[in-house]
Chain A
Amino acid sequence: MVMSTDYLEELDDTEKDVSESHSKLLEAVSQLDKGQRVKKAERSEPTLEVSEFHLVKSGICDRDAVHVHDLAKTLGQKSHHHEITKNLQAIKRKIQVLPKPLEKPAADRIKRIVGFKNTKQELKKWNAIITKNRTAESLHFPLKQSSIKLDSSTEFVKRFRLQSDLEKELAALEPQKDNIEEKSDEFSLTLKEIIMKRKEAARIRAQQSYREAKAHRQNKIKSKKFHRVQRKEKIKLQLKEFEELQKTNPEAALEKLDQLDKTRAEERMTLRHKNTGRWAKSKQIRAKYDKETRKELAQQLSVGRELTQKFKKSNDSEEEDVGDDTPMQFLTSDKENPWIGNVKTESEIDQFVKSYRKYWDDQNKKSNAKVEIDPNKYINIKPKHLNTDLPIDITGGDDVLDDSEDEEKRRNVVSEAFADDDVVEEFRKEKEEEVKKAQPKDIDLTLPGWGNWGGKNIKVSKRKKRRFILKMPKDLPRRDENKGDVIIFEEDNPKIKEHQVNELPYPFSSVKDYEASIRMPIGRNFVSENSHRKLIEPSVKTHMGKVIEPMNEDILVKKNDKENRKFIPKRINKKQKIKRIKTIERIKTNKQAIK
C-alpha cells in the first residue's frame, strides 16, 4: 500500500493529465482478461449541464472521484465552515442510495405476471355470456336484436300527427334540451372513466414497484435460517388459508389441496433433503466426529420427511376414536377377565337368534313375493268350449262347386286323416336341429400324424386336443329358449345392420345413453305441433341480409328494465352450503384413500 501511494504521488507530480486515459487503458486491459465479463452496473444520465452533482461518464474510477468530504477537508476550522461540514455530514447521513434496479429479464417477468393476471381478470367478465351462448338450445343471429315490442295502435297513430303551423314555430323556438342532457351525460361518464383508468394504472404501477422492491430485498438475504423460517411460515400461512377457504369457498380449497399435494409429490420425486447431494456427502465424512454436522444432516432428513408426509385430517382421527370406543367399553365391563370379554349371556344369544330368524323370514317372504309365478300361465291352458251357432251346410248350388272347392275339400279330408301324426314331435325335432345349427362348432386344428403316429384307429392325444381344438362357448342364450313351440331364426339380418348405428357419436360413451338420446320421435305424426317445432329447431338461426357483428361490450351491460330480466340467481341457503362442503370433504378423503 505504501508503495502504491508513493507511486501515485509521483504520478500526481508528473502526469496528472494522463491519469484519465491511463485508467481507460487499464480498463481495456482488464477487459482483455476474461475473469470478469459482466460489467458492474452503472448509473448514467444524459445531461447537458456539467457540474459536480451530475453523474459522470464511465472511465472514472471511484478512486479518482472528488467526494464532498474531500472538499470539506480543505475548509478551515472557522465557525461558519464548521457549520457547513456539519450540514454536509447530516446530509450524508440522510442520503439513501436508490436500490439497484432489477435486472431486465426479472423485471419483465414480473411485469408479465402482473399483466397476465390483470388480463385474466379482465376477460372473466365474458364468462357468463359465453357459457350462456354455448349451452343455448338455439341461437338467433344477430344476437342483439331490438326488442319487438308492438306499440298499441293509438300510440302508433300518434307518431303520424300533422303539426300545425303554431306547433312548428314553437318547436323551432324551443331549445334542444335533449342534446344538452346527452352531452353532459357523456362528459361526466368520460371523466369518470379517465379517473378510473388513472387509478387503475397507478395501482398496477404501485403493485409492480412494491413487488420489485420486495423481491430485491429478499434476494439479498443470505441467511439460511431466515429462509427456513420463512418457508415454514409460508406453509403455516397456506394451511391457515386452506382451512379458512374450506369454510368459505370449498372449491378453491380443493384446488389448494391439490397444489399442496403437488409439492409433496415433487418432494417425493426429487432427492432433495435426502442427504444425497455433494454437500451432504462432504458433511457425512465429518459427521462421525462432529456433533453439529450430524445435527444438520438429521435436520435435512426431517425436513424431507415432513414434506413427504400426508396431510391427516383431524376429523378422521376423531372418528376413529369414536369407532374404537365401543369395544373398549365392553372390555372395561369385565376387567377381571379379558379373555371372556366377548362371551355373551344365554338370553342375549337367544334374542339374537330370534331376531335373526325374524329377519330371515322377512327376507324370504319378500323374495317370494317378488317371484310370483302363476303356474296356470305355464301349464298349457285348458281349452274352453264356446257355444257357437252351427252353420247350415250350404253348398251354394251346383255351379259354385268347381274344381278348386273340390280340391279344398280333399285337402281337408287328408289333413283330418293325418291329424294324429306327430306334428308336435316333428316341430320339436326341427327346433333342436336349428339350435344345433346355430351353435358355433369347435374348430379342430389338429394335423393327423403330426408329432404322433399316423394311421387308422389312432386317438388324438389329450395334449393335442387341449392345444389345437378351439372350443366355442356352449349354450348361448337364444330368444326362443323358453318359449315352447316357437323357433326364432336368429340370423344376423345384414340388411338392417347397414342402417343401424355401429359407432357412438362424440359426447356419448355408453350405448344406453345414446339410445336414450334418440328415443323421442320428432315427426309431427307422433308429437304435437309445438313440440315438433321445438324438437327440430336448428341450433343456429340467421336472418337473410342481416349483418352478424362480433360481440362488443354493450352486451355485458345489464339492462335495467325489469321486463328483460329473466334470470334470477338462486340463493344458496345454508343447508345446500353444508351439503356442498360435505361433498367436497368426501372427495378429499377419497383422494387420500387413493394415495
Chain B
Amino acid sequence: MKTTDYRPRKRVRISKKKLAKYNKGEGIDLKENSTRIKNEVIRQKLKKKEVVFNKTVKDTARTELLLTGDYGCLEADCGEVTIQYKQKQIVDNVDITAAAKRFTLNLEFGPYYINYTRNGRHLVLGGRKGHVAALDWVTKKLACEINVMESIHDVSWLHIETMFAVAQKDWVFIYDNQGIELHCLKPMYKVTKLEFLPYHFLLASGSKEGYLAWLDVSIGKFVNSFYSKLGKIAVMTQNPSNAVLCVGDTKGVVSMWSPNSKDPLAKMLCHTQTVAACAVHPYGTYMATSCLDRSVKIWDIRQLAGPMHSYYVRAPVQHLSYSQTGQLAMAMGNVVEVYRSSTDEMKPYMRHRADWTVTSMQFCPYEDILGIGSTREVSSLLIPGSGEPNFDGLESNPFQTKSQRREAEVKALLDKIQSELICLDPVAIAEVDTPTFKNKIEATKDILYVKPKNIDFKPRRTKAKGKGGTAKVIKTKKILKELSRKETIDMLRQTDTSRSDTRKTEPQKNYGILNRFLPKSNKKATR
C-alpha cells in the first residue's frame, strides 16, 4: 500500500448556520449581464472587496470557536420538576464559589431598588428611606454606604462603577463610589424611574409628573425633556438594541420614546388595564409586559407585533426581568418565578418564595444570579443557566482592572453614539435617504442641458423581509381575521340567547354612571 503523507492544509469547516448568522446579506451586483457599474477597473476592485467581505464573514464565524463556555441548566430527576428545588438545595449542591454568590442582606430602610453594572460585578442598592450602598457583590467589598436623608425612588449605575445616579425626593443626584455627591440634577424633578443608555452616555429619567428627560453624562448637557401626557411614569425600561425608552401607562399602552421627538415613535396597546411591568430581551427581540388583570404577554418588539404568547397568572405580576439567555423572571408579591422559553411556550423553571414583597429585580449579567430587592432585604438567587458564559473583554469585562477600566472609558467615549441617531430602526443610519435623494434628482431634471442621472432607487432592505409581503398575503390575512371574528360573534350570540332567557327573571336596579362599581356579574345584566 502506498500512502501519501501530503495533505493540503485545511481549515475547520464552518456550518452553514453559523455562516448565515454572520452573513450580512446580498453583495454588490457585479455580474456581467446585470451590473450597473460600468468601469472595468472599479468593478475589479469591488470584486476584490467582495472577496474580503466573504473572508471576513468566515473569519468572524470561525471566532465562535473561542467561545468555549456553554450555559447549563437544572435538570430534574425522574418524577421531579425543577420548580420544586429550593435555593437551599441548590446551594448545598453547587461548588463553593457559586454557593458564595447566594446571599441575603437584611436591611431596614424600606423597600429596596437594586441595579447591577453592565459587567455584572458591582451592585448599587437604594432603600426608600434614604439608604444607599454600592458594593462589589462578588467579593462583598463595600465601596460606600450612606444615608441621603431623603426618600429614594430609583438607583442606576452610570457607564463605570465609580459613579451612580440616585433619584431622590426632589432631584437626581450623582455620587461617586466613595459616596461623595458629585452633581445635583435639578432639571430632573421628582423622578420615579432611571435608565442609563450606555452607548449614548445618556441618563434617562421618567418623573412623577410625567416628564421624560435625557442627560448626556459625558458632557453634562441636557439633551431633551418632554411632557409625555401619560401621568406618573411608573414603568419604564430601555430597549437595549435601539436605546428607545418603553413607557407603560395606565391605559395599557406601551409607548416608545426617543429624545428626538416630542411624540412617541410608536404606541402599542398591550393590555386593557394599567401596565404593571415591562421588560425587553437583551437582544431586543421580545418584550414582556404584565398587567394588573393578571395577564402576561410576550411581544415581538422588532416587528411591533404580537402578542406572541399570552398568559394568565394567579396573581398580578409586579416586576419582570429578562436574563441574557432569555429566561424571564416574574415577581408577584413575595413570589419570584423564572420561566424558560422553549419552542412554542414558556416553561416554569425556578420558583422562590421570598420573605418580603419583592420591589425590584434584575438578572446579573454574566452570572447565574437574579438579584432581588424587597421591602426588608436584598438577596441574590442562584438561577443556573441564566447568565451569558462568554464575555467580550472589549465590550464589558467582569474581571476589569483599574487601568483597563480607564482605557475602556476612553474607548467608549470615542465610540459614543450621538443621541440624534436614536430611532426605532437602529440600522437606518446605514441606509440612503431616498426621498431627499429623489428630490435632488428631480431638481436636476428642470435644469437645461443637464442630463439627470439614471439611478435605481430600490432599497436593499424591503419592508417585508423573508416572508412574502405581497398584497395578496395581507388580503388573505384580513379575510382570515374577519372569519374568526364572525365565528366568535356567532358563538357569543348563541350563548347570549341561551343565557338571557334565564336572567330576565331577576329585576335589576340601574345606578347610572356608578354601575361600573358594581360587581361584574351584576354589571352585565344591567347593560
Contact = CB atoms under 8 A, between A and B. Distances in A.
Interface string A369-402: 0110101001111111111111111111001101
A511 B434 contact: yes
Contacts of B480: 373, 375, 378-379
B335 A419 contact: no
A482 B418 CA distance: 32
Given A502-B433, A509-B36, A496 B454 contact: no
Given A487-B267, A489-B263, A511-B456, A415 B24 contact: no
Contacts of B14: none
A493 B423 contact: yes
A383 B253 CA distance: 19
A524 B56 CA distance: 11
B272 A424 contact: yes
Interface string B401-441: 00000000000000100101101100011111111110010
A420 B56 contact: no
Interface string B25-45: 111110000001101011011
A509 B253 contact: no
B429 A507 contact: no
B524 to A, nearest CB: 9
A495 B420 contact: yes
B320 to A, nearest CB: 13
A411 interface: yes
Nearest to B315: A391
B456 A386 contact: no
Nearest to B35: A513
A482 B44 CA distance: 44
B315 A524 contact: no
B264 interface: yes
Nearest to B520: A420
B268 interface: yes
B60 interface: yes
B517 to A, nearest CB: 6
A385 B311 contact: yes
Interface string B450-474: 0001111111110100001000111
B221 to A, nearest CB: 15
B292 A391 contact: no
A498 interface: yes
A388 B335 contact: yes
A335 to B, nearest CB: 47
Nearest to A427: B269
The interface centre, meaning the residue of B394, B395, B456 with most chain A CB atoms within 10 A of its CB, is: B456
Contacts of A495: 260, 420-421
Given A502-B440, A511-B455, A517-B46, A381 B309 contact: yes
B303 to A, nearest CB: 8
Contacts of A507: 37, 39, 42, 46
B28 A135 contact: no
A373 B473 contact: yes
Interface stretch (A75-83, A209-217, A306-314, A529-537): A529-537
Contacts of B376: 396
Given A378-B481, A384-B345, A535-B56, A513 B267 contact: no
Interface in B20-76: 24-29, 36-37, 39, 41-42, 44-46, 48-49, 52-53, 55-57, 59-60, 62-63
Q: What's the interface size class on A, roughly? A: 35 or more
Interface string B130-160: 0000000000000000000001000000000
Interface string B112-131: 00000000000000001000
Given A388-B335, A486-B268, A511-B458, A524 B394 contact: yes
Contact of B356 (A380, A394, A515, A527): A394
B29 A513 contact: yes
A523 B392 CA distance: 14
B127 to A, nearest CB: 11
A421 B353 CA distance: 35
Contact of A511 (B292, B459, B476): B459
A497 B436 contact: yes
B428 A519 contact: no
A528 interface: yes
A527 B59 contact: yes
B293 interface: yes
B412 to A, nearest CB: 11
Contact of A502 (B110, B309, B355, B437): B437
Contact of B477 (A131, A378, A394, A418): A378
Contact of A383 (B311, B356, B395, B477): B311
A412 B62 CA distance: 53
Contacts of A530: 59
Contacts of B292: 412, 415-416
Contacts of A514: 432
A442 B56 CA distance: 52
Contacts of A423: 251-252, 269, 272-273
B337 interface: yes
Given A135-B48, A371-B476, A486-B305, A388 B313 contact: yes
A390 B432 contact: no
B335 A390 contact: yes
A528 B59 CA distance: 6
Given A391-B335, A485-B268, A516-B25, A135 B41 contact: yes
Contact of B394 (A134, A500, A513, A525): A525
Contact of A393 (B53, B263, B333, B477): B333
Contacts of B423: 493, 496
B314 interface: yes
A415 B273 contact: yes
Contacts of A430: 267
B375 interface: yes
The interface centre, meaning the residue of A381, A393, A500 with most chain B CB atoms within 10 A of its CB, is: A500
Interface string A466-509: 00000000000001111111111101110111111111100111
A510 interface: yes
Nearest to B473: A371
B348 interface: yes
Given A378-B480, A511-B459, A530-B59, A480 B304 contact: yes
A483 B36 contact: no
A365 interface: no
A518 interface: yes
A417 interface: yes
Contact of B45 (A135, A408, A499, A523): A135
Nearest to B375: A396
Contacts of A373: 473, 476-477, 480
The interface centre, meaning the residue of B26, B432, B434 with most chain A CB atoms within 10 A of its CB, is: B432
B523 interface: yes
B107 interface: no
B241 interface: no
B380 interface: no
A373 B239 CA distance: 30
A558 B36 CA distance: 36
Contacts of A370: 468
A388 B332 contact: yes
Contacts of B453: 509
A482 B310 contact: no
A519 B24 contact: yes
22 contacts: A135-B45, A371-B472, A390-B314, A391-B333, A394-B333, A411-B250, A411-B274, A418-B516, A419-B272, A421-B516, A423-B272, A423-B273, A480-B266, A485-B269, A488-B265, A489-B263, A500-B433, A501-B433, A510-B456, A511-B455, A512-B29, A525-B394
Interface of A: 131, 134-135, 137, 370-371, 373, 375, 378-396, 399-400, 402, 404, 408, 411-412, 415-421, 423-424, 426-427, 430, 479-489, 491-493, 495-504, 507-521, 523-528, 530-531, 534-535
Given A386-B348, A486-B305, A513-B29, 17 more contacts: A135-B45, A382-B310, A385-B311, A386-B296, A386-B314, A415-B250, A420-B523, A426-B251, A480-B266, A489-B266, A502-B432, A504-B455, A509-B37, A519-B53, A528-B56, A531-B59, A534-B55
